[in-house]
Amino acid sequence: MKLFLPTLVASVVLMLNGGADALNVKMPGVNYNSRKGPDWAPDSSMCKTASEVQKDMFALKSITDKVRIYSLVDCNQAELVLPAAKNAGLKVHLGVWTTNSHDYLLQEKAKLAGL
């Protein structure tokens, strides 16, 4: 009974106050990747479509104003994420993925230079 009454009172106050607004939060930024499948899958099942990316960007806009991508080449993120983010009113922080493969870095640099 000692714990029940204060808990009940606190619950009633929160309900009358309109809730705790715990989900009404803006984050400074969110990391985003347009992948949806495993590495070994073909692009059609490994990567999201343009409409799926656009849907994600509109959903993310409710919690942040910035997204960060880690690669421009992987899943063609430069071509999909940048226009979708702009359409949703988001800023994008670009990342360039590096590996042991010098060729992959050259692909990333070429994509960045082409933006």
Give 42-100 pLDDT, tens digit per residue. 877 899 999 999 999 999 999 999 999 999 999 999 999 999 999 999 999 998 888 89
Residue carrying structure tokens 């692009």: 43
Is 1's pLDDT higher than 70? no
Sequence-distant (6+) residues with CB within 8 A of 3 are: none
Predicted confidence band at 115 (pLDDT cuts at 50, 70, 90)?
Answer: confident
Q: Where are the domains of the chain?
A: 25-113
Mean pLDDT of 22-32: 83
Q: What is the pLDDT of residue 26?
A: 87
CA nearest 79: which of 109, 114, 105? 114
Instruction: State which CATH number among 3.50.80, 3.40.50, 1.25.40, 1.10.10 fits the domain covering 25-113.
Output: 3.50.80
In residues, how long is the chain?
A: 115
Under 8 Å between Cβ of 68 and 85: no
Q: What mean pLDDT comes out for the span 5-12?
A: 64
